[in-house]
Amino acid sequence: NEDSKDLTLFPLPPTSNPPTSVLEVDKKTPDAHVPRDPRLIRLTGVHPFNVEAPLSALYNEGFLTTPELFYVRNHGPVPLVEDEDIPTWEFTVEGLVENPITISLKELIEDYEQLTAPITLVCAGNRRKEQNVVRKTKGFSWGAAGVSTALWTGCLMSEVIRRAKPIRRARYVCMEGADKLPNGYYGTSVKLNWVMDPNRGIMLAHKMNGEMLRPDHGKPLRAVIPGQIGGRSVKWLKKLILTDQPSDNWYHIYDNRVLPTMVSPEESASNPSWWKDDRYAIYGLSTNSAIAYPAHEEQLCIVGAPQKYRVKGYAYGGDGRRVTRVEVSIDKGKTWRLSNIDYAEDRYREGYEQNLYGGSLDVPWRESSFCWCFWAIDIPVEELKGAKDILVRAMDESMNIQPRDLYWSVLGMMNNPWYRITISHENDYLRFEHPTQPALIPGGWMERVKKSGGNLMNGYWGERIDGVEPEAP
């Protein structure tokens, strides 16, 4: 019986403890107006603010992330927007439209249908530290926590664009934020075709988990582009410009691209045509997964341990594609075990037309998967004792599977090889190591292998193959 379903089965956000004071470290920066959570790991020094949560803390919050632990990618100073100025925050829809319009946030909320949807955002640089250990890229070192999920409230971007009446020649929607940077305001574009496609759910959001956006997340208005890299979800949104060409914004051209692997930093600098080839711009996320537990440097006492240990983590697909399986290996990929997957996103599909945070829950009719999922598998401790590592790989509904091999590129993005943690047996303990630690934090098996001369790109994580000696460095 449809009516008897409990409509509150879907996850609600974990308790948030919004930071109220500005951290000492931020006080001498342009962001001295932004209270922040001290647990966040800074990836680019003090400023600009680019952070991820410790992986365990992120995972422990569950399917939805609090705004204070949600990853942040800022290119420069956070625009200061006073609360009293929020209703009159204006943005424009211009360019190849018949009817250019200026809309205030107040109008956006009053005149357009509001909806709420859970959407995972992922930085294209998620897991980049692994690439940086192999060979330094131009990007800073994300660990595996450059991914977070929230309930976003706002309207469909297509609705405002429809009112502006795009002309036939319009093919792209360029977005521009209020964050002024050395190379102009941050901006990028997506295809108009995608924006107008209801299945893609591209939003203009003003709430995150039911509260007004916080400064680091785009207060008071941002784009949210589900299934695509975070860099397309422009924060502090001021302009939508319809064009017949992709954005010519500096950040659109010189960021968020995966050049072919053989293009060196020198070649990319001396030959700008690499950056102008639109095929190398990235939009949809690639399939990815990571292990949250065992955590890095977790130790499992095998004396009196329970029979089984639960290995668990997250996975996500791109462009709305569902993760259809997550497989785990403890014998270097010779054999794989099927993990259980919890698709928390699916539980919102039951909440048809329910209102949440002032928007209707816009999930039930959708057939796309725009959120991460959590996977878990119990492995007998006896078997872990005999294993050297744990590997995980996810596959999406188009059979896109995470590969064994890391794809290095000059900007270091979309890193998604099998996630591997190593197991070492020390006295009565199993000790686990993740591949890396974020930012400049030392640790992880990759640094260790590299230091000892292993070739991390040899298809076997720089280690020996079944009793034979490793290749010389």
According to DSSP, residue 12 is labeled: -
Q: What is the C-alpha separation between 346 and 368, in angstroms, rounded?
A: 10
- Contact characters 419-458, a copy of itself, x per CB under 8 A: --------------------------------------xx
Single-letter amino acid code for the residue at 238? K
Question: In sequence order, which residues have a C-beta less than 8 Å from that of residue 224 and are 6 or more positions away?
Answer: 119, 121, 152, 154, 202, 203, 204, 205, 233
Query: Which structure tokens are listed for 30?
Result: 């342009």
Smallest separation (angstroms) from a copy of itself to the CB of 287: 7
Of the two residues 167 and 338, which places its CB atom closer to a copy of itself in the complex? Answer: 338
Residue 154 has phi, psi (to 5 degrees) of 170, -150
Residue 200 has phi, psi (to 5 degrees) of -90, -15
Residue 284 found at the interface with a copy of itself (CB under 8 A) = yes
Q: Confirm if 403 and 419 have CB atoms less than 8 A apart.
A: no
Whose structure tokens read 């996810």? 394
Residue 383 found at the interface with a copy of itself (CB under 8 A) = no
Whose structure tokens read 């190379």? 183
Residue 206 has phi, psi (to 5 degrees) of -125, -5
Size of interface with a copy of itself, in residues (CB under 8 A): 52
Residue 403 found at the interface with a copy of itself (CB under 8 A) = yes
Of the two residues 24 and 367, which places its CB atom closer to a copy of itself in the complex? Answer: 367
Collapsing DSSP to helix, strand or coil, 377 comes out as strand
Q: In this chain, which of 322, 347, 420, 434 binds a copy of itself, going by CB under 8 A?
A: 322
For residues 27, 31, 35, 39, the Cα torsion angle rounded to the nearest 10 degrees is: -80
Q: What is the C-alpha separation between 302 and 259, in angstroms, rounded?
A: 46
Q: What is the C-alpha separation between 123 and 285, in angstroms, rounded?
A: 9
Choose the catalytic residue: 74, 123, 288, 319: 123
**Catalytic residue status for 155:** no
Q: What is the C-alpha separation between 33 and 21, in angstroms, rounded?
A: 9
Residue 352 found at the interface with a copy of itself (CB under 8 A) = no
Smallest separation (angstroms) from a copy of itself to the CB of 152: 22
Choose the catalytic residue: 255, 362, 389, 396: 255
Torsion 398-256-251-227 (CA) sign: positive
Of the two residues 185 and 283, which places its CB atom closer to a copy of itself in the complex? Answer: 283
Question: In sequence order, which residues have a C-beta less than 8 Å from that of residue 29 and are 6 or more positions away?
Answer: 46, 47, 77
Question: In sequence order, which residues have a C-beta less than 8 Å from that of residue 6 and are 6 or more positions away?
Answer: none
Residue 399 found at the interface with a copy of itself (CB under 8 A) = yes
Residue 286 found at the interface with a copy of itself (CB under 8 A) = yes
Residue 246 found at the interface with a copy of itself (CB under 8 A) = no
Smallest separation (angstroms) from a copy of itself to the CB of 218: 25
Of the two residues 354 and 458, which places its CB atom closer to a copy of itself in the complex? Answer: 458
Q: In this chain, which of 10, 283, 309, 374 binds a copy of itself, going by CB under 8 A?
A: 283
Single out the segment in contact with a copy of itself by CB under 8 A; choices: 140-148, 317-325, 355-363, 429-437.
Answer: 317-325
- Contact characters 174-213, a copy of itself, x per CB under 8 A: -----------------x-x---x-x--------------
Residue 275 found at the interface with a copy of itself (CB under 8 A) = no
Single out the segment in contact with a copy of itself by CB under 8 A; choices: 159-167, 209-217, 398-406, 445-453.
Answer: 398-406
Smallest separation (angstroms) from a copy of itself to the CB of 459: 5
Strand spans (E) along 86-192: 90-95, 101-104, 115-122, 147-156, 172-181, 184-191
**Catalytic residue status for 256:** yes
Question: In sequence order, which residues have a C-beta less than 8 Å from that of residue 410 and are 6 or more positions away?
Answer: 137, 138, 259, 263, 264, 265, 268
Single out the segment in contact with a copy of itself by CB under 8 A; choices: 60-68, 289-297, 378-386, 404-412.
Answer: 404-412
**Catalytic residue status for 99:** no
Question: What residues does 369 pair with on adjacent strands?
Answer: none
Residue 400 found at the interface with a copy of itself (CB under 8 A) = yes
Of the two residues 89 and 283, which places its CB atom closer to a copy of itself in the complex? Answer: 283
Smallest separation (angstroms) from a copy of itself to the CB of 405: 6
Smallest separation (angstroms) from a copy of itself to the CB of 373: 11
Question: In sequence order, which residues have a C-beta less than 8 Å from that of residue 411 and are 6 or more positions away?
Answer: 137, 138, 139, 255, 256, 257, 258, 259
Q: In this chain, which of 138, 162, 165, 337 binds a copy of itself, going by CB under 8 A?
A: 337
Residue 303 found at the interface with a copy of itself (CB under 8 A) = no
Single out the segment in contact with a copy of itself by CB under 8 A; choices: 4-12, 47-55, 104-112, 277-285.
Answer: 277-285
Interacting positions 210-239 with a copy of itself (CB under 8 A)? none
Smallest separation (angstroms) from a copy of itself to the CB of 156: 16
- What residue spans of 227-287 are helical by DSSP H? 250-254, 265-270, 273-276
Q: Which residues are catalytic?
A: 123, 255-256
Residue ranges in contact with a copy of itself by CB under 8 A = 171, 191, 193, 197, 199, 258, 260-262, 279-280, 282-287, 318-319, 322, 324-325, 327, 333-338, 367, 395, 397-401, 403-405, 407, 414, 416, 457-460, 465-469, 471
